[in-house]
Structures are given as structure tokens and as C-alpha cells.
A and B are shown apart, each in its own frame.
Chain A
Amino acid sequence: MSTHKTISLIGTFAATGVLLHRLLFGAWSLGVYAILLAGIALLCWLEGVSALIIACALLFFPLVVLHAFLEDLFMKERSLPEWQRNDADFLAFGIVRRLKSLQEVSLINLLDAALKTNEGAFIVQELGRDPQQLMRSLRAALDAVPDTSVAPVLRAAHERMTALKRTRIGAGILLAVCFERFEQLKDLLNECDLAQEDLVAILRWERFHELFRYSEPFWTPDGLLQSLGSIGRSWVMGYTNAIDALTEDLSASVLWKCHRHVRIHADARANALRILEKSDLHDLLIIGRVGVGKKVLVEHLAYDIRIQERRKSREYTRVLILKTEELLSGVRNPDMFLLQALKKAQESGNFILVIHNLALMLQSGGEKIRAILMKFIREKNVQLVGIISAEDYHRLVRSDPMLDHFFEKIMVEEPADTETLAVLMEHFFQLVRTYNVHVTYKALRSVIDLSRRYLPNQAFPGKAISVLQDAMMLAQKADDAFVEERHIREIVSQKGNINVMELSQSDRDRLLNLQERMTSSIIGQEDAVHALVNTLKRAGLEMATGNRPLGTFLFLGPTGVGKTHTAKVLANEYFGSADAMIRFDMNEFSTESSIAGIVGSAEGETSAGYLAQCVQDRPFSLILLDEIEKAHPKVINLFLQILDEGTLIDYAGMKTDFRNTVIIATSNAGALFIRDLFRREASAQDHRQLMQEVTESILHEKVFSPEFLNRFNEVILFHPLSKDEAARVAMLMLTDIVEDMKTKRGINLKVEEEVVQSIVERGYSREFGAREMRRVITDTIENQLADYMLTHEVKRGDEVVIRRQNTAS
């Protein structure tokens, strides 16, 4: 039996406010006031303005006062309700106001009213649903709930309100409690692909939203201050035409331009401010990765300096951002110009010169610019703030101890996810005015998750903001009302040069059929193919999101069994092209000095090694380390970090992300052992036992260290090919030639079976597998065919049959 107990809200705090409001300012009341006002106006017109009429008009002022009083008491909801006799007293005024009746209020009535409030509308938006559709779904789901009594829901909502330190039960709390209490509603959340925790996060975001709903009018004290600035202070500064031409004055607009609700890097900001306030050694170097927020930190600093000036009546300090590129490219003698400009500026007052591209300045400016900077670093009235990346700091500043000594350093680290989310939310409220599209909570979360995984070369929050902005632009151009996860995936795919779109049906089919297609091209190595395909299936569904590459494999086996060929087929079938394979012949890395080929070197200007560069350019690729056992042990040790952490730090300190790569190392180590093993007891032992024996043999011979072997996802044993398998390999190779002749020249090439047998006899051996097969086919088929086509007239549509007797007809 179902229970749907309703409640009466009469007598509750919000209901009292609503009733008073309706009584004084309802439609009827406003009508009466309008009639009275019209009467007074008529009297004025007929009788002229008299004391009596003024006295009548005065009666209306209490209405304004009462409205302000009711608004203050009931609507602002900054403090707890005046009386708290039951849980319903805590209901938000906005919800109660939207109820048609205050008696016999059901849960559906409450939810309906809640979704119509600003808060409710925002939450519906974040769920990515239409309000009416959501209400219909809620109604249908609640119909199936046996007990929808209002009182227990309000009790739970009251508890949740207290936990969230709020003063009223708003739409968000009401929805969160309903989703939590009623199993039937959880399907609705699942449809939105959200968890209960996400709903709570949306509640927090909604509170954040309130900060942006209200913008300070210009006539308020803060508005005036932001619009007009500070006249007397700025008059203290002298004329600085020269420096003004090459700088942007951040102080002039800092109060209105740089006022942000979310401020990250609080410690770095406090430290920087402390350093800038020092009387000595007060020049600052802000070090951090691209996108970590170094420029924003400078803006915040400028803001803090202005606030401190106001609070402590300090002298006016200008924060000037040097346009480095213009100085270096647009001025005939940049050093002379900068020297004169700084001297003049120094005489005219205090200023902080921010060089946002210090690396460029030091690199391109030469010794003279460096000397000028050194001169002004310790001078009065002038402070320098340099912005530089960690790599450039080590390369350009750290290497010059004199310069390094004069700067205090602040390292700006990547913010935590929660901080990045807050920054994103703030940016969303600014961007929505431009693009007029909303962002669902799930999309916002995915900005962080996908950027972290697929855009490793930049730092948060910069990369997340960039993705969000591009996604909003994309949605706007596509006339979509919401930015959803698919928009974010599309942008991340473009920016990361990697396909991270959700799997389409064709992608699913491709993955499901991958094993079949690979085994048709790879003969006799089913175990290897099976292991590879399983890994790629996991990667396709993003099940492997740890800090390791998508898959790491060590292919062991004798030569000519298809280890390298397997990697090529995989690159073609899964990565779409053989070009997606980055191949390293590891015998080229057999000396200690060859380590530079992987991580770069100090010589020359190359900052990254070849491997790192390749992966930075193509993060989603297959890396083939051919004959890894021939590499120098120090080179092999480098790969320990890649296999384990999924990253490589090169000579310049730059981190390269390998998490979206598949790494395949091939090796002939233990080949003799494997061949003997298969010869003796090929079918007698199971694969696992064989694998163990081979591994032990390799470790015993000290070809690889145990820690190296253990870091691979799988060590895969390639079986020596049997003669039958070699014949199938020969058939595959010949099929390629036949198809090539057909498509390119239109010639029907036929190869008799005896020819295949002959090729196998000459091209296959137990020791070298099918290694010689390609050479034999070139000698016996391709060369002969070329001779025949040169000596005979072969036209399109002709048929050429290859027989064993070395004759062709």
C-alpha cells in the first residue's frame, strides 16, 4: 500500500512571509494601489497640488518600507528563520512562493516549485535536461515510490542543510535528498551519467553561481572606485613617455580588470608580496610551466599591491608589463632605449617592471640587455619581476650565478583539481556572456579529466580554460544549447593530436574484429595477438587510466617469426597507419653516448631527444624498440621510467607523456633456448610453463635485469614457425604481390602451388624462420617478373602465370 502524506505549510516561516507579501503586494493589492494613485493624480489635475493631496500621497511611503522589511526578513535568507518549530520552517521563500496552494502540499508540488526557482533552473541546466521533461520523469518515478510523505523528506533535507552550513532548504538540497532517498530516482541520475556526489558538487557550483548573478552597479562605492581609479595617487607619478610606449600599465585597470572571486596560488602570492615589500633583494622570478597561471599571479599581485597601498597609505606603485617582443623587434637600439626609458621612469616614481618573457629577453637581447637588467635590479624605485619556465630558468638564469643571486624565486605549482574546477567555473560565468551556451557539470568535470590525461604538455588551469573556451565556441557554432562531454572530447582530440572521441559503433566493431584481422596477417602467433588485442580493448574503453602506457610488451623469440611484423600490422590496423609506428633499431643505441638520442644533450640547441620529440608530436602511437637487448644498459635503464611511470624527463628537464602509447620491445634473447625448447617438448608443456623457463634462462644469462622484465605488461613468446606456417607466410607475401599487380597495372598474376612450395623450401629454415622468405620471393618472383615484363609486351588485362620451371607464359 502506498503512502503519499502531504503537509500544510500554513504557519511556517516562509509561508507567513509569502502570505504577507501576497496581502500587501499581490495582484489585487497592486490594483487597489493603482486606482488610489490614479485618484490622487486626478485630484492633482483638477484641484492642483494641495496639502491634502500631499498627505494622501504620503500614505504610500509605508508600502515601500514594508516591502523592504519583508524582503529583508523573508527573502534574503542570510540568517536562520525567525522561528524554527518544524523542518518546513526552513523551506526557501522562493519555493514556497511558487506553490499554488500552501495546504496539502505534496512532494511533487514541492519539487515542481523548486525546479522553477533560479537555483532549480541552474541545477536542471547542469544535469543537461529540459525542466519540463525532468519534471515528467520525476513524476513518473515518484509514482512508483510506495512512500512519498513530505515530512521525512523535509527532515532529511534539514539535516543536509545543516551539514552544508546553509540557512534554507533550497531546490538543490531538496533534489539531492530525493535522489538519495528514492531508489526509483537513481535511474534519472544514471541517465544523466552522474553520481550522487556529482549532484552535491553541482549544489556547490550553484552557490558559486550566486556570486556572479549580482554585479556591482557603477554608482556603488566599489563601482565608483573601479570606474574612476585614484586621481591623487596617479598624479604623483611623472611623465614616462618612453617606457609607456613599450609597456602595459596593469595598475591603471587592476581594480576592475583583475578582481576575481577565485584566487589560486595563495601561498605563492603571499610570498611574492612579502618579497616585493622588502627593502633589499626584492626582485622576483616567477617560475612555472606554461598554463600554470604565472601571468594571473602577477595580476593578483598588482591587485594586492593596490589594496595594500590603500590600506596602509603607501606611495603609488605602477606595475608595468614590458612588451618584450616590441622592444626587441620594433626598436632600433633596444638596449639604449631600455636604459633611457628605465632611467627616466626611475626618476618619476616607484614602479615594478614585469618581464613576462624573460627567456626571450635574455636569449635575444644579448649581453647589453642582461647588463641593463643587472644594473636596475638593485636600484631604488625599480623592481623587476621576471616570468620564466622551469626549463628556461635552468638554462638561462641558473647558469649565470650572478643573475640568479639577485632574484628571489617563486615556484608556481599546478593547482589541485578542486581549485582548477573553481577557476573553470569562474571562467564559465564570464564566457557564457560571450557564447551564450551552458556547460553541463559532466562536461566541466571531463575538461579536467581529459586534459590531464591527453594534454600533458601544458599545466592546469590554463589548458582546462583553453579547452572550455574552445568547446563553448564549438557548441555555439553547432547551435547546441549545452556543452557536453562530446564537445570536450572533440576539442581535446584536436589539441592533443589524438582521437579521444567516445567509441562509435564502427570503432566498437573495429575493436571486436581486430583479432580476426590481425591473425589473418600474422601467422602462427595467436597468443601474441590475443594479448595485444585484449590490451587495446581495455585502452579503447579507457579502462587503463593509470600512470602507465596503454600497453607494454616484450616480444621474445627467434629471428624470422614475425615479431616486428606484428608491430607493423598493429600500427596499421589499430593506429590507422604504419606511420603511427615510431621505430628504434636499438643496435644504434649500443654505446653510452647514444643515450643523447633518447633524452637529448647539452650540445647544440636541441632540448629534447628524438624519442621525446616523436611522442610529443604524436602522443597516440606505437613505439617499437627493435632488438632491445643490443642497447646499452644505461639506455635500457631509461626505459624503466617510461614503462613504470609513463613519462620521460629529458636533458632539459621537460617531461614527455607516454601514457597514450603502446610500447613493443622485440628481442632475440634466449632464441636458441626457445628453439631447443620447442624442438624437444613443443606440445608437452603449457605456455605459462614455457614462458617461465624462457624468462629464467634470460635472467640467468643476464641479458635483462629482473626489474626491466617485470615492468612489461606482458612478455610474449613467439613460437618458431613450422613449415606449414611458413607456407602460409609465403602465401601472404605472394598475395600482396598479386594484388599489387592487379590494382596498379591491371595484370592478373597467377602463382602455382608448386612455386609456393619451392619458395618455402628455399626461404624457410628452422634457425631463421621466414627471414629469408622475402629475399627468395624478390629473387625468384619479382626479379623474374620484371625481366619478363621488359622483354614481353604485357598489357592491362593480360594474365601472367608463374610456374616452377622458371618460365612464364
Chain B
Amino acid sequence: MSALSLLEHPADLSAIALRFLPWYFLKVPGRIIRGYGAYVRALGEIFSFWFLIRTFLKPWKSIVDRYPDRGFNLGLIAQAFTLNCTSRVIGMIFRTVAFVLGVVMEIIVLGVFLVLLFVWILFPFVFVLDIFYLIGALP
């Protein structure tokens, strides 16, 4: 028994062929877009952009010096202020780096998925052109 017996059931083959077009142009692109969404969410969670923004000015790892409770000791106040400012600046630097890195990753992922999507959708046309090109190239 060979695969030629498929020809005995042209209606079935037609049904499968008809399934191909929606699969190619709707189902798979939908999956590509959903896949992109999943990566965007995962990267969003890994870099926690919203938290980076909310805590942008917070001291790094809560390293702070307390201001004196009583009296007015300018030296101690200046000491605490300096340390706290330094801690906040360090926090800002790290968060900025993480934010930028996250944004870059998001852009890369977007680029990869856009390329994938366009290649997938445009490929049938490229394929048809390719066939014409090959026919034209025949001696």
C-alpha cells in the first residue's frame, strides 16, 4: 500500500489543504504574537521595570544613616545626609543600568519577533517569486 492511495480521497486532501491557509496566516502568526507577549511579560518580571521606577530614588539596599533625634549637631546631620545621598545615587545608578539593560533586551526581543513574523508572512510570496525566478533561470 502506498501513499498514492491518498488520491482515492480527494475530498479529504482538499479539506486538509483548506485548513492550511488559515493555519499559516492566522494561527501561527497568532502564536508568534502570543509568544512575544510571554517574553515581554517574563522580561518585565525579571527586570521589574515598575519597581525600578518606583524605587528609583530609594537608597541602595536600605543603607542609610539616621539623623540625630535630639539637638542640632550639624556634623552628624551632614554625615547622615552625605551617606544617604551617596546611597541614593548608587541606587539610581544600579537601577538605571538594570532599566537600560531591560529596555535593550525588550527591544532585541521585539526585533527578533518582528523579523520572525514578517519572514513567516512574506515567505509564500518570496517562495512564489523564487519559483518564477528558477523557471526564468532555466536554460
Contacts and interface: CB of A to CB of B under 8 A. Distances in A.
Given A61-B123, A232-B48, A225 B42 contact: yes
B3 A10 contact: no
Interface string A207-243: 0000000000000111011001111110111110000
A103 interface: yes
A786 interface: no
A69 B27 CA distance: 10
Contacts of B47: 231-232
Contacts of A224: 39, 42-43, 46
Given A10-B9, A58-B127, A236-B58, 10 more contacts: A10-B8, A65-B24, A82-B16, A220-B38, A221-B38, A232-B47, A235-B52, A236-B51, A237-B61, A239-B62
Interface in B24-52: 24, 27-28, 35, 38-39, 41-43, 45-52
A62 B130 CA distance: 12
B50 A313 contact: yes
A316 B134 contact: no
B15 A82 contact: yes
Interface stretch (A19-27, A596-604, A703-711, A748-756): A19-27
Interface in A1-43: 10-11, 16, 19-20, 22-23, 26
A255 to B, nearest CB: 10
A256 to B, nearest CB: 13
A352 to B, nearest CB: 18
A659 to B, nearest CB: 52
A61 B3 contact: no
Contact of A233 (B5, B23, B48): B48
Contacts of B27: 72
A235 B45 contact: no
Contact of B23 (A73, A238, A239, A313): A73
Interface centre among B6, B13, B133 (most CB of A within 10 A): B6
Given A228-B46, A233-B51, A83 B15 contact: yes
Contacts of B61: 235, 237-239, 348
Interface in A53-105: 55-56, 58-59, 61-62, 65, 68-69, 72-73, 82-83, 101-103
B23 A225 contact: no
A55 B134 contact: yes
Given A103-B1, A236-B58, A11 B95 contact: no
B85 interface: no
Contacts of A565: none
Nearest to B23: A69
A347 interface: yes
Contacts of A102: 1
Given A239-B63, A347-B62, A72 B23 contact: yes
A372 B137 CA distance: 87
A103 B5 CA distance: 11
Interface residues of A, number: 48
Given A11-B8, A11-B9, A22 B3 contact: yes
B20 A69 contact: yes
Interface in A730-764: none
Contacts of A232: 47-52, 55, 95, 98
B77 interface: no
A349 B61 CA distance: 10
Contacts of B15: 82-83
A58 B1 contact: no
A228 B98 CA distance: 13
B126 interface: yes
Given A16-B6, A20-B16, A56-B134, A231 B48 contact: yes
Contacts of A310: 45
Contacts of B126: 58
A52 interface: yes
Interface of A: 10-11, 16, 19-20, 22-23, 26, 51-52, 55-56, 58-59, 61-62, 65, 68-69, 72-73, 82-83, 101-103, 220-222, 224-225, 228-233, 235-239, 310, 313, 316, 347-349
B130 A73 contact: no
A61 B127 CA distance: 9
B65 interface: no
Contacts, number: 117
Contacts of B123: 61, 65
A23 B24 contact: no
B70 interface: no
B66 to A, nearest CB: 10
A348 B55 CA distance: 13
Contacts of B98: 231-232, 235
12 contacts: A11-B8, A11-B12, A72-B27, A83-B15, A220-B38, A225-B46, A230-B45, A231-B46, A231-B48, A232-B98, A239-B62, A348-B61
A348 B48 contact: no
Nearest to B37: A221
A20 B13 CA distance: 9
A26 B137 CA distance: 30
Contact of B6 (A23, A56, A68): A23
Q: Is the interface of A mostly helix, strand, loop or mixed?
A: helix
Contacts of B63: 238-239
Contacts of B5: 10, 19
Going nearest first, the 9 A-B pairs with the smallest beta carbon separation are A238-B62, A232-B48, A221-B42, A23-B3, A221-B38, A232-B51, A232-B52, A348-B62, A233-B48
Contacts of A55: 130, 133-134, 137
Nearest to B49: A232
A237 to B, nearest CB: 7
Interface in B113-139: 123, 126-127, 130, 133-134, 137
B60 to A, nearest CB: 8
A69 B5 CA distance: 21
A61 B58 CA distance: 52
Contacts of B91: 235
A562 B94 CA distance: 88
Contacts of A229: 46
Contact of A16 (B16, B41, B42, B52): B16
B29 to A, nearest CB: 13
A320 to B, nearest CB: 16
A101 to B, nearest CB: 6
B130 A59 contact: yes
A279 to B, nearest CB: 20
A217 B97 CA distance: 28
B55 A236 contact: yes
A62 B50 CA distance: 43
A19 B16 contact: no
Contacts of B9: 10-11, 16
Nearest to A238: B62
B6 A19 contact: yes
Contacts of B38: 220-222
Given A59-B130, A61-B127, A236-B51, A225 B45 contact: yes
A68 B61 CA distance: 49
B78 to A, nearest CB: 22
A19 B48 CA distance: 50
Nearest to A104: B1
Nearest to B132: A55
Contacts of A23: 3, 6
A83 B14 CA distance: 12
Nearest to B9: A11
Contacts of A51: 133
Contact of B19 (A58, A65, A73, A228): A73
A68 B63 CA distance: 54
A239 B64 CA distance: 11
A316 B62 CA distance: 14
B33 to A, nearest CB: 14
Contacts of B8: 10-11
A56 B134 CA distance: 8
Contacts of A313: 50
